[in-house]
Amino acid sequence: MNTSVNDDTNFRRRVVFGFLGLVLTAALCLIYGFFVEPNRLVLNSVSIDPAGLEKGLDGLRIVAISDLHGGSNFIDEAKLRDITKRVNEQNPDLIVILGDFVSQARSGRPVRRRPLKMSMQTIADSIKGLRAKYGVFAVEGNHDYWFNSKIVFKELERVGIRVLHDQLTEVDVNGTRLTLLGLRDHMSVRSGKNYNTTIKEVVSDVDSDLIVLTHSPDFIPYLTGPNSISDKTRLFIAGHTHGGQVWLPLIGSPMIPSNYGQTFAAGHLEYNNTDVFVTTGIGTSIMPVRFLVPPEIAVITLGSG
């Protein structure tokens, strides 16, 4: 009888301690996700060997950052200046910033009238120290588009950051030509088919290796494979997804802001025989949380195979 009572008591204790352990684990994960990981900043170094890349571009270092969301949790002026410092420490040949500079306060106002959490002037002043051998280039993100792209572009250009808005620029890398194409934000485009025609016209005269910069990777299916804009396309670099901000063991990222699910979540992949790299970005949006998807500075080194 006593043995049965003891066994029952021990079982209840194990249940209670197990439950308390789960509660404690959940609490620690929440604290980490809301207060620790969003304030981290990691370097993600990756080597990519695009097929057909000119040998003169072998070793080219491209630093990609995205989704700064100035004024969002942990993204204050000091953090932006630290990001600038750490980017420059990578000795980049090119710096590309893949949109979503701003973050708007959530309110019932129309999106273009919502106040910014940090002014675009302050954001631009905080990153004006970015330096790269062949220049610093940026594209528009959906939050920039929703706010006011003209203001965003004006402030970036003021501090020496070149904005590419469905535009090309050519870089001379020790005698080897490289063309960069920067795309407008995907939410400003109504028809992927019509946009494909537009971009084909933009790149029609490109005869050097082409790297495409886009905020959202959702443009990629419209511009590659049977819809390819150019046989000179070597690499797409994108942001926007934040890597889902949360990654759970056995499940992955529950929510990716992409029409293609997990396909373009984060990292290097090949899609329609084209190399693609998607950075997890730096800031947060919607929910101020990151879990096992830390903010990153991506350092891409190109190889000619």
Structure confidence by residue, pLDDT tens digits, 110-128: 777 889 999 999 999 999 9
Distance in angstroms (rounded) separating the CA atoms of residues 64 and 238: 9
**Residues 98/66, Cβ–Cβ less than 8 Å:** yes
Contacts of 302 (CB under 8 A, 6+ apart): 47, 48, 49, 50, 53, 57, 58, 59, 60, 61, 62, 235
Structure confidence by residue, pLDDT tens digits, 151-194: 999 999 999 999 999 999 999 999 999 999 999 999 999 888 89
Are residues 126 and 105 located together in one domain of the fold?
Answer: yes
More confident residue, 11 or 126: 126
Supply the mean pLDDT for the chain.
Answer: 93
| Domains in the chain, number | 2
Are residues 21 and 117 located together in one domain of the fold?
Answer: no
Are residues 272 and 211 located together in one domain of the fold?
Answer: yes
Are residues 190 and 153 located together in one domain of the fold?
Answer: yes
Report CA 111 to chain centroid distance, whole Å: 22
Angle made by CA atoms 247, 239, 99, in degrees to the nearest 5: 135
Q: Is 51 exposed, middle or buried (0-12, 13-18, 19+ CB in 10 A)?
A: exposed
Domain carrying residue 10 = 1-39
CA dist list (Å): 48 to 1, 16, 142: 70, 51, 27
Are residues 17 and 135 located together in one domain of the fold?
Answer: no
Angle made by CA atoms 184, 185, 191, in degrees to the nearest 5: 90
Are residues 4 and 68 located together in one domain of the fold?
Answer: no
Residues 8-22, mean pLDDT to the nearest whole number: 73
Model pLDDT, residue 109: 76
pLDDT band per the 50, 70, 90 thresholds, residue 3 = low
Are residues 179 and 62 located together in one domain of the fold?
Answer: yes
Q: Tokens standing for 269? A: 């992949």
Are residues 104 and 79 located together in one domain of the fold?
Answer: yes
Model pLDDT, residue 252: 85
Between 3-7, 35-39, 142-146, 282-286, the lowest mean confidence (pLDDT) is in 3-7
Are residues 15 and 61 located together in one domain of the fold?
Answer: no
Are residues 73 and 84 located together in one domain of the fold?
Answer: yes
More confident residue, 94 or 35: 94
Model pLDDT, residue 112: 79
**Residues 299/256, Cβ–Cβ less than 8 Å:** no
pTM of the predicted protein model: 0.93
Residues 42-52, mean pLDDT to the nearest whole number: 97
Model pLDDT, residue 4: 63
Are residues 141 and 11 located together in one domain of the fold?
Answer: no
Model pLDDT, residue 93: 98
pLDDT band per the 50, 70, 90 thresholds, residue 5 = low
Are residues 7 and 127 located together in one domain of the fold?
Answer: no
pLDDT at 14 over 80: no
pLDDT band per the 50, 70, 90 thresholds, residue 304 = confident
pLDDT at 26 over 80: no
Residues 31-51, mean pLDDT to the nearest whole number: 93
CATH number of the domain enclosing 175:
3.60.21.10
Residues 11-30, mean pLDDT to the nearest whole number: 76
pLDDT band per the 50, 70, 90 thresholds, residue 6 = low
